[in-house]
Amino acid sequence: MTTPLPTSQVNIPPGVIDLGVGDPPFSLLPLALLREAAETRFSQNDPYFLQYGAEQGDGYFRLALANFLAEGFGFPVTADRLFITNGISNALDQICTLFTHPGDTILIEEPSYFLALRIFADHGLHTISIETDEDGLLIESLEEKLREFRPKFLYVIPTHQNPSGHTLSADRRARLVELSREHDFLILADEVYHFLSYNSEPPKAFAAWTEDAHVLSLGSFSKILAPGLRFGWIQAHPEKLQRLTGCGLLDSGGGLNPFTSAMVRSVIESGGLKQNIARLTGIYSSKLRVMDGALRRHLTEAVYSVPSGGYFFWVRLPGGIDAVELQRRAVGFKVNFRPGVRFSSRGGLRDRIRLSFVFYEPQEIEQGVIRLKQCLEHGE
Amino acid sequence: MTTPLPTSQVNIPPGVIDLGVGDPPFSLLPLALLREAAETRFSQNDPYFLQYGAEQGDGYFRLALANFLAEGFGFPVTADRLFITNGISNALDQICTLFTHPGDTILIEEPSYFLALRIFADHGLHTISIETDEDGLLIESLEEKLREFRPKFLYVIPTHQNPSGHTLSADRRARLVELSREHDFLILADEVYHFLSYNSEPPKAFAAWTEDAHVLSLGSFSKILAPGLRFGWIQAHPEKLQRLTGCGLLDSGGGLNPFTSAMVRSVIESGGLKQNIARLTGIYSSKLRVMDGALRRHLTEAVYSVPSGGYFFWVRLPGGIDAVELQRRAVGFKVNFRPGVRFSSRGGLRDRIRLSFVFYEPQEIEQGVIRLKQCLEHGE
């Protein structure tokens, strides 16, 4: 072999600091935890996890996960309300197949996670966006759209949103659930960053409302353990779980991930997942302060609010600069980011950029922000 | 815990011999192979497989798989034509999402794998069936349907078909590819049983025709390694691979299975997969002879042809007996099977049953067939 073959999704050109990357750092991928988990599982000499698995997911794994979630959320969670997925992207894809038809209308936040928008597009869905502010989506904007449209679902990232970093307030969560009942649409709550809270407890997760058949809480191990596992869960009402577990895909192949379930079950039961989250939140919160400090020192005219969790700063550039244009120039400064327009379903947010504070080491974060400042100063 | 939690898809009542089960036996699930593979992988101290993976699948894994396939198929296979999936059910689901719309017409064999039919139903596809004989689907029946319909794809299990055990002849394969070009439909060739051939080499796999953008060859580790891995591949023309790797699901989550890829890569590179297949074909071919002998001895009036690979005998019951009715009575005889009607997309094949010869030990196979005979003799 002369050149290395592709293994990772993201390939950053040498020397470039890409603050746009939404991946965990390689140094925090829990190799030792998974090695121990594999040793534990294989030492038990039971090959059950190599067979076609139960459609809803391995019962023992769901029990371990339910206990973990109950402690983390602070309210009861039972194994029978959990369905095991290959991660949130896969869950969204499957939900679109089973609960929508091409041409259906769905609601999303403005801004929202741009790659989810692409999944919805693959299913031919018509996307309407809802305005947001510091406390998440604006109920008035939602009510206005509900007068005009009959959406199948609302896709929302309630806590430490991607890209804005904002968290939907408790009041608005409650009101949102009321509206989903009144107007009979589903809430797909992508709670991927819920356990990555650095200062204070976030408002109660949407998982708390899954006794209502309108709410599906989507969880993932990508940000709290490892993305390469492609592994997550849906917490939902039995009515919705039945449609998911009864679909043709699962009837044919059985549970979506028996092998990975068996490994991650050991990580949870040993307490390793909890420890891993404590480690991540400690390191990420210190990186967050590093990026905040760097932005204050070097990008004095940039406007942003400090996130209280998650992965991202959402920054408004000074003087109405177009971020796509800036990105073109940034190549020469060996720095990169995600332009805001990629998170807009209507070509807006052109003066925003998304910066991740988790992927790089502190010195690189500072250096990246300095390069960004240089790029901004040396405009055309 | 008072009662065990569900881990497996199939739960057979105690004492029952269910010859309908399409799973590998627990005793042949390759626990030691995967333990060694995990040890090898973890010992290398590189956590790359825990990160978001390359969309098309880990390049090193694809290289190992390409080498394995080239040797097994007997013609060149290159890594750039392979796309890594979560198994064939998942691949079919994804292909339906990306290449069809609800209401589209597709073609299947009569009989065909009933659980694939359910996946197609979830996508709202309109299914037309093609007659088959001992040499697989009848070209005349296909041509007749092509005069009336414009199908998006034909789903075919060319080798050791499920449920019939029949293998599509080389001539018909070639003609099928010609017809797919003339009428511009895709061939989805489910080649899951190709490497489970017990007597002779099967005709050239459809993988050989993937230089043509009309042919997609779907492969799986479920029958040659372990179903619980939920792991497989698609071999196809770059035009088709581009649509698959460029979809929203993969753009968001990266490659479908980096973790499992890393484990199975070691199994292939060590030669373990090849050894495992040799072991399986040895044991399965002897079980096949056991079932054939038992059927000849005990079910003298049953009509079937002896399969040359795969998992199944496809048996016509004597005297036009309705297999669903027989199944009702079989409960009392502690035996079970799959009635033929489940493999029909039009409620036919009512006097057929599918029997698997791989799941049980030889004595149980014989005992199962004896119970079936008793059940047949003690009619209403």
Instruction: Please write the tens of the pLDDT for every residue from A298-351.
Output: 999 999 999 999 999 999 998 889 999 999 999 999 999 999 999 998 899 999
E strands, chain A, are 17-18, 82-85, 105-110, 126-133, 136-137, 153-156, 186-190, 215-220, 232-235, 312-316, 335-336, 338-339, 352-356
- Mean pLDDT for chain B overall: 95
pLDDT at residue A380 greater than cutoff 70: no
Mean pLDDT value of segment B304-332: 95
CA distance B377 to chain A (A): 33
Q: Which token pair is B364? A: 């149980």
Write the CA distances from B70 to B62, B108, B266, B282, integer angstroms.
12, 28, 18, 22
Do B303 and B312 form a contact (C-beta atoms < 8 A)?
no
SS3 B186: strand
Give chain A positions within 8 Å (CB) of B98: 122
| pLDDT for position A1 | 45
pLDDT at residue B330 greater than cutoff 60: yes
Give chain A positions within 8 Å (CB) of B113: 252
Give chain B positions within 8 Å (CB) of A246: none
| pLDDT for position B319 | 87
Closest CA to B85 of B62, B108, B51, B52: B62
CA distance B63 to chain A (A): 9
Closest CA to A45 of B31, B6, B4, B29: B31
* Ranges of H-type helices in B149-247: 170-183, 238-245
Closest CA to A352 of A379, A325, A377, A317: A317
* Complex confidence, ipTM: 0.95
Residues with Cβ within 8 Å of residue A351, at least 6 apart in sequence: A316, A317, A320, A321, A322, A323, A340
CA distance B43 to chain A (A): 9
| pLDDT for position A8 | 85
Instruction: Say which of B7, B38, B47 has its CB closest to residue A58.
Output: B7
Rounded (10°) CA dihedral A59, B192, B23, B71? -100
- Tell whether omega for the bond before A163 is within 30 degrees of 0, i.e. cis: yes
Closest CA to B84 of B67, B71, B66: B66
Q: Which token pair is B61? A: 């894994």
Give chain A positions within 8 Å (CB) of B23: 51-52
A&B contacts, CB < 8 Å: 245
Positive or negative, the Cα torsion across A162, B253, A85, B155? positive
The model's confidence at residue B252, banded by pLDDT at 50, 70 and 90, is: confident
State the DSSP code for A125: P
Strands B352-356 and B105-110, bridge-based pairing: unpaired
CB contact under 8 Å between A47 and B55, yes or no, is no
Give chain B positions within 8 Å (CB) of A222: 52, 253
The model's confidence at residue B1, banded by pLDDT at 50, 70 and 90, is: very low
pLDDT tens-digit readout, B103-141: 999 999 999 988 888 899 999 999 999 999 999 999 999
Closest CA to A266 of A42, A29, A27, A87: A42
- Mean pLDDT for chain A overall: 95
Residue of A nearest to B58 (CA): A7
**Three-point CA angle B171, B173, B174, nearest 5°:** 70
| pLDDT for position B115 | 84
pLDDT tens-digit readout, B38-92: 999 999 999 999 999 999 999 999 999 999 999 999 999 999 999 999 999 999 9
Mean pLDDT value of segment A144-164: 98
CB contact under 8 Å between B56 and A6, yes or no, is yes
Strand partners, B85: B232
Instruction: Say which of B42, B59, B227 has its CB closest to residue A7.
Output: B59
CA distance A357 to chain B (A): 17
Q: Give me the amino acid identity at B56.
A: Q
Closest CA to A230 of A256, A254, A205, A251: A256
CB contact under 8 Å between B59 and A6, yes or no, is yes
Strand partners, B187: B154, B215
pLDDT at residue A225 greater than cutoff 50: yes
Main-chain dihedrals φ then ψ at residue A141, nearest 5 degrees: -65, -40
CB contact under 8 Å between B4 and A259, yes or no, is no
CB contact under 8 Å between B79 and A24, yes or no, is no
Choose, out of A39, A49, A117, A230, the residue to mutate when testing the contact with B (most B CBs < 10 Å): A230
CA distance B12 to chain A (A): 13
pLDDT at residue A147 greater than cutoff 90: yes
Residues with Cβ within 8 Å of residue B275, at least 6 apart in sequence: none
Instruction: Say which of B9, B113, B255 has its CB closest to residue A53.
Output: B9
Burial (CB count within 10 angstroms: exposed 0-12, middle 13-18, buried 19+), residue A364: middle
Residues with Cβ within 8 Å of residue A40, at least 6 apart in sequence: A266, A270
The model's confidence at residue A2, banded by pLDDT at 50, 70 and 90, is: low
| pLDDT for position B380 | 52
Do A376 and A332 form a contact (C-beta atoms < 8 A)?
no
Q: Which token pair is B199? A: 């007597």
CB contact under 8 Å between A51 and B226, yes or no, is yes
State the DSSP code for B231: -
Q: Which token pair is B28? A: 């042949």
The DSSP line for A304-330 is ----SBSSEEEEEPGGG--HHHHHHHH
CB contact under 8 Å between B252 and A118, yes or no, is yes
Choose, out of A36, A50, A266, the residue to mutate when testing the contact with B (most B CBs < 10 Å): A50
The DSSP line for B283-319 is HHHHHHHHHHHHHHHH-TT-B----SBSSEEEEEPGG
| pLDDT for position A252 | 75
pTM of the model: 0.95
SS3 B83: strand
Q: Could you tell me how many residues make up chain B?
A: 380
Residues with Cβ within 8 Å of residue A187, at least 6 apart in sequence: A153, A154, A156, A176, A177, A180, A206, A209, A214, A215, A216
Do A164 and A129 form a contact (C-beta atoms < 8 A)?
no
Instruction: Say which of B58, B98, B249 has its CB closest to residue A89.
Output: B249
Of A80 and A7, more confident: A80
CA distance A297 to chain B (A): 32
Give chain B positions within 8 Å (CB) of A4: 59
d(CA A216, CA A213): 8
d(CA A307, CA A164): 8
Do A162 and A312 form a contact (C-beta atoms < 8 A)?
yes
Closest CA to B129 of B360, B114, B119: B114
**Does an H or E element contain B338, and which?**
strand B338-339
CB contact under 8 Å between A252 and B35, yes or no, is no
Instruction: Say which of B50, B96, B227 has its CB closest to residue A52.
Output: B227
CB contact under 8 Å between B254 and A9, yes or no, is yes
Q: Could you tell me how many residues make up chain A?
A: 380
C-alpha atoms less than 13 angstroms from C-alpha of B246 in its C-beta half-sphere: 7
Q: Give me the amino acid identity at A227.
A: P
pLDDT tens-digit readout, B145-160: 999 999 999 999 999 9
Main-chain dihedrals φ then ψ at residue B117, nearest 5 degrees: -60, -35
Do A108 and A149 form a contact (C-beta atoms < 8 A)?
no
d(CA A70, CA A274): 12
Give chain B positions within 8 Å (CB) of A5: 58-60, 62-63, 79
Write the CA distances from B71 to A57, A63, A281, B195, B211, integer angstroms.
36, 44, 48, 11, 18
* Ranges of H-type helices in chain A: 31-43, 59-73, 88-99, 114-122, 139-148, 170-183, 238-245, 248-253, 258-269, 272-298, 323-330, 362-377
State the DSSP code for A205: P
| pLDDT for position B49 | 96
CA distance A275 to chain B (A): 18
Instruction: Say which of B8, B58, B254 has its CB closest to residue A53.
Output: B8
CB contact under 8 Å between A248 and B120, yes or no, is yes
Give chain A positions within 8 Å (CB) of B93: 97, 248-249
| pLDDT for position B273 | 98
SS3 A299: coil
Do A342 and A270 form a contact (C-beta atoms < 8 A)?
no
Instruction: Say which of B4, B5, B50 has its CB closest to residue A226.
Output: B50
Strand partners, B129: B108
* Biggest CA pair distance of chain A: 66
pLDDT at residue B310 greater than cutoff 60: yes
Residue of A nearest to B98 (CA): A122
| pLDDT for position B121 | 93
SS3 B38: helix
* Biggest CA pair distance of chain B: 65
CB contact under 8 Å between A259 and B35, yes or no, is no
User: How many separate helices (H) and strands (E) can be counted in chain B?
Assistant: 12, 13
| pLDDT for position A114 | 82
The model's confidence at residue B368, banded by pLDDT at 50, 70 and 90, is: very high
| pLDDT for position A188 | 98
| pLDDT for position B145 | 98
Closest CA to B163 of B359, B334, B354: B354
Give chain A positions within 8 Å (CB) of B228: 48-53, 254, 258-259, 262
Lookup result for tokens 């038992």: B294
Do A99 and A188 form a contact (C-beta atoms < 8 A)?
no
Q: Which token pair is A318? A: 């000074």
Q: What is the SS3 string spanning B3-49?
A: CCCCCECCCCCCCCEECCCCCCCHHHCCHHHHHHHHHHHHHCCCHHH
